[in-house]
Amino acid sequence: MSSTKIFLKSSDDKTFEIDETAARASETLKNIIDGGCLDGVIPLPNVSSNILPKVIEYCKKHGGDNGSSKKIANGGVDKDKEILPDYDEEEDKREKVRVDELKKWEEEYMDFDQQVLYDLMLAANYLHIKGLLDLTVEKAASMIRGRTPDQIRENFNINSDFTPEEEEEMILIEDEWDDEWAFD
């Protein structure tokens, strides 16, 4: 079953095609479509042609739904099950397989460098694609979580720019938190 095609134009004037059902994964696009403002091509001045295909890939995969694998696992799209009069074990198994597959897909999909990560996050933010925003945010958070300041500097490729006095003060703050940690 083919659905209506929509055309998206990147900031550098390249046009990409996407199914309407896939495009609805984006709140922003959905509003444009529903608002009847569709006029051939939708310009996306904040998304470059490097990133747009990546966004479209995500939308295709997630069709109408809006969540990451995590959301699905938590019952985000479990409406069907609620309607079913009795619990279907087979259905539940298939659901589990689907979630596992999706997780694997996400893992591969998210394998890119930091620059792409930020651009993709911005695009997801701009296009209001909740699931994609969650994925990118989580990836960035994982680069910070549980890391020492030195590791964070390395991860984000930055140098400390504190003065020696500030540096000393910073070390004190760090120690204080480490003590707190140790206390637990």
Partner 1 sequence: MELYGLPEDCIAEILSGTSPQDVCRLSVVSTIFRSVADSDSVWEKFLPSNIELILSSSVSSFLPNFSSKKEQFLHLCDNPLLIDDGTMTFALEKCSGKKCYMIGAKELSITWGDNPNYWSWPSLPESRFSEVAELLSVCWLDLCGRIETRLLSPDTTYVAYLVLKLTTNVSGFDYYPVELSVKLASESHAKVTSVCLTTPEETEVEGFGELPEETDADSGSEGEVPEETEADPGSEREVREETDADSGSEGEVPEETEADPGSEREVREEIEADSGLEGEISKETEAEGEVPEETGADSGPEEEVSEETEADLRLEGEVTEEADSGPEGEVPEETETDSQLEGEITEDTESDFGPEGEVPEETGADSVPERKVLKERGDGWMEIRMGEFFNERGEDGEVEMSLREIKILWWKSGIIIEGIELRPKDNQ
Contact (Cβ atoms closer than 8 angstroms) between residue 14 and residue 49: yes
Q: Which stretch binds partner 1 (CB under 8 A): 41-49, 75-83, 103-111, 151-159?
A: 151-159
Q: From the list 35, 85, 146, 164, which residue makes contact with partner 1 (rule: CB under 8 A)? A: 146
HEC string of 124-136? HHHHCCHHHHHHH
Mode of pairing for the β-strands spanning 15-19 and 5-9: antiparallel
Estimate to the nearest angstrom the gap between the alpha carbon of 84 and the chain centroid: 31
- Per-position DSSP letters for 73-135, written without gaps between them: HTTTT-HHHHHSSS--HHHHHHHHHHHHHHHHHHHHHT---HHHHHHHHHHHHHHT-HHHHHH
Output the smallest distance, CB 95 to partner 1, in A. 20
The string over 139-171, giving b where at least 16 C-beta atoms fall within 10 Å of a residue's C-beta and e elsewhere, is bbeeeeeeeeeeeeeeeeeeeeeeeeeeeeeee
Q: Which stretch binds partner 1 (CB under 8 A): 40-48, 52-60, 95-103, 115-123?
A: 115-123
Q: Is 112 in the site for partner 1 (CB under 8 A)?
A: no
Closer of 2 and 159 to partner 1 (Cβ)? 159
Closer of 36 and 177 to partner 1 (Cβ)? 177
Output the smallest distance, CB 30 to partner 1, in A. 20
Q: Which stretch binds partner 1 (CB under 8 A): 5-13, 76-84, 101-109, 117-125?
A: 117-125
* Residues 134, 159, 121: CA angle, nearest 5 degrees: 15
Q: Is 74 in the site for partner 1 (CB under 8 A)?
A: no
Size of residue set near partner 1 by CB under 8 A:
34
Output the smallest distance, CB 104 to partner 1, in A. 22
Q: Which residues are near partner 1 by CB under 8 A?
A: 115, 118-119, 121-122, 125, 133, 137-138, 140-142, 144-149, 152-153, 156, 158-162, 170-171, 173-174, 177, 180-181, 184
